[in-house]
Amino acid sequence: MTAKGTKGIVAAGHPETTRAAAIILEEGGNAFDAVLAAIYAASVVEPVLCSLGGGGFLLAHPGDGKPVLYDFFTQTPKQKATEEDLDFFPIDADFGAVTQEFHIGMASMATPGTVRGLFQVHRDHCTMPMRRIVEPAMALARNGFTVNRLQAYLFQVVGPIYMSSAASRDIFAGSADPDGLKIEGETMTNPDFADTLDVLAREGEDLFYRGEIAASIAADCRHGGGLLSTADFEGYQAHQRQPLGVDYRGARILTNPPPSSGGILIAFALEMLKDMDIRGLRFGTPEYFGCLAKVMEVTNKARIDSGLLDATESLLDPAFLATYKSEITGQPQVNRGTTHVSIIDAAGNAAALTLSNGEGAGYIAPGTGIMLNNMLGEEDINPAGFHRWPENTRMCSMMAPSLAVEPGGGLIAFGSGGSNRIRTAILQVVVNLLDFGMSVEDAVNAPRVHFEGGLLNIEHGIDDDVITRLVADFAETKCWDERNLFFGGVHVARRKASSTIGNAFHGAGDPRRGGAVEIV
């Protein structure tokens, strides 16, 4: 989307999320005020993907300062308990073509970091009072909003989780069919969450980490088979890290550094592409997609080996990945449901924020309307079996909120949801923008591939003759008959340095994940 605008641009995963941020920009708030408003709103209208009971990352680029990465992702509990005493059980999520098992319950909950992170960002960068920033989300939670198609689909996928407790059913059960989740077109409210935001904004984050909310969650865990204690909440800290940087096609790409893995793998792939003439392969050809798949394959191997392969030594500095090897190895990793917000304002402040709640634990913190995460119920972090995670450790993630600083001062803010597809979705959008010079809309909408575990996934929209070649060239392929959220959801905001302020902003919300964009 390109339109006249003088205050900024927002790209996110739901029109109401985008609108909440735009309201704050319209009133004179900066990108950081707006991104907080967006996340509070997303916690209402994108509840499967976003919750104050989860965790995430913000890559902040102040217009007059140095970029910084805020890590407020989830932390493993300080103590374990015997397995027979735990509230921890499997459910099946129905994706239509396949079902997948997840584990939920109070023992699946890691220490949430979102509230701590948002308040830290507010102290460091915001200009508006928190009471005003939460108001758009409060209005949505109290007055209601219409469930859209994507959210209704996600409700059906994770139905057993959101129907697993009375408190959760009170929020998410359908009006016409109280035995099922809300469907497209129904109105949804969460008045308890509106009240929680009101009190949080007035009393501050200690309510969540040292006050009534922490105490009630800890008490429920103590008596009901959970692991979180008041010590977990009191000890939680948001971390500030120097973003990982890599130069690519004249731009400086900044992304999420270790101990999370998504950013380093994106940087690894870009380093490999630097010396390849991918533009000479022409976009959309079998050779182009084959090149991308090869880069994805080698990156997967590097991820597993935590070292460089012989095939890539001529393209990379051998110390590149080794520098981060010890920081990535051993971190419990989470890859599940996520949402993303990208915002740039007229002053050059840029915010890229990605947040996840896993699938949700099925547990609503009493009286808050907040569902906590189920990060400890993820098979990805438990290859040797559940309950073997290291205590009191920041969890690793594939989430990679990112920025590109272009020559002359242009800025691009971007990121994605999509589990392991986050890094390949972001990689392809970066290549589309910087190698092929596509518009933001075309870069986001272009069909994608994803190669992992010997299987090449081919998204709908690629020419039939190209698909025929790819099927012949790869041992295992899966051809999708639609654009699908499997391939990520890259929401992009861009400010071009060479444009006048009235037409400097461009953006796209990824339609695969309900994307919306608004220029203010």
Indicate whether 287 belongs to any domain: no
pLDDT-based confidence at residue 154 (cuts at 50, 70, 90): very high
Is the model more confident about 418 or about 330? Answer: 418
The per-residue pLDDT for 313 is 32
Residue 516 confidence (pLDDT) above 50? yes
What confidence score (pLDDT) does residue 418 get? 79
**What is the predicted pLDDT for the residue at 264?**
85
| Residue 322, pLDDT above cutoff 60 | no
Is pLDDT of 245 > 80? yes
Residue 90: CB partners within 8 Å, gap ≥ 6?
101, 102, 103, 104
Alpha helices in 306-383 (DSSP H): 319-328
The number of CA neighbours under 13 Å toward the Cβ of 179 is: 0
Q: pLDDT tens digit string along 448-504?
A: 999 988 999 999 999 999 999 999 999 999 999 999 888 999 999 999 886 555 568
**383 band by pLDDT with thresholds 50, 70 and 90:** low
Does some domain include residue 468?
A: no
2 given a catalytic annotation = no
Neighbours of 318 (CB within 10 A): 10
| pLDDT confidence tier of residue 320, bands split at 50, 70 and 90 | very low
Starting at the edge strand found earlier in the chain, the sheet holding 455-458 runs 449-452, 455-458, 476-479
3-class DSSP state for residue 220? helix
Q: How far apart are CA 134 and CA 117, in angstroms?
A: 15
Query: What percent of the chain lies above the pLDDT cut of 90?
Result: 72
- Asked if residue 305 is part of any domain, the answer here is no
Tokens for 403, please give them. 């920025």
Length of the chain (residues): 520
Tell me, yes or no, whether 283 lies in a domain. no
Residue 392 clears pLDDT 70, i.e. is over it: yes
Measured in Å, how far apart are the chain's first and last C-alpha atoms? Answer: 12
If 0-12 CB within 10 Å is exposed, 13-18 middle and 19+ buried, where does residue 31 land?
Answer: buried
- What is the chain's alpha carbon radius of gyration, rounded to the nearest angstrom? 22
What pLDDT score does 193 carry? 98
pLDDT, residue 499, reads 57
When comparing pLDDT for 239 and 3, which is higher? 239
Cβ within 8 Å of residue 69, ≥6 positions away: 57, 58, 59, 60, 240, 241, 242, 243, 256, 257, 401
| Per-residue confidence (pLDDT) for residue 350, from 0 to 100 | 98
Is there a domain that residue 409 lies in?
A: yes
Segments forming the whole domain that contains residue 11: 1-275+315-447+483-520
CB-based burial label for 388 (10 Å; 0-12, 13-18, 19+): exposed
Structure tokens at 217: 């969650």
- In-domain check, residue 158: yes
The single-letter DSSP state of residue 453 is T
Catalytic residue among 338, 354, 368, 424: 338
E strand segments, 309-390? 333-334, 338-345, 350-356, 364-365, 370-371
Q: Judge whether residue 43 has pLDDT over 90.
A: yes
Q: How many structural domains are present in the chain?
A: 1
User: What's the confidence (pLDDT) of residue 331?
Assistant: 62
Give the torsion through C-alpha atoms of 51, 52, 55, 58, to 10 deg. Answer: 100
Cα(387)–Cα(108) distance, integer angstroms: 9
Torsion (CA) 243, 9, 145, 485 in degrees, nearest 10? -60
State the CB neighbour count (10 A cutoff) for residue 256. Answer: 31
Contact in structure between 35 and 341 (CB atoms under 8 Å): yes
Q: Which amino acid is at 7?
A: K
Is there a domain that residue 471 lies in? no
Residues 83-92 have pLDDT tens digits of 888 999 998 8
Residue of 135 and 303 predicted with greater confidence? 135
Angle between helix 286-305 and helix 464-473 axes, rounded to 10 deg: 40
pLDDT tens per residue, range 325-355? 444 455 665 555 789 999 999 999 999 999 9
In this prediction the pTM is 0.93
Under the banding of pLDDT at 50, 70 and 90, the label for residue 312 is: very low
Please report the pLDDT score of residue 380 as a whole number.
63
Question: Residue 398: what pLDDT?
Answer: 87
pLDDT tens digits, one per residue of 353-375:
999 999 999 999 999 999 999 99
Alpha-carbon span 315 to 301, nearest angstrom: 16
Residue 477: inside a domain: no
CATH of the domain at 184: 3.60.20.40
- The mean pLDDT of 227-243, rounded to a whole number, is 97
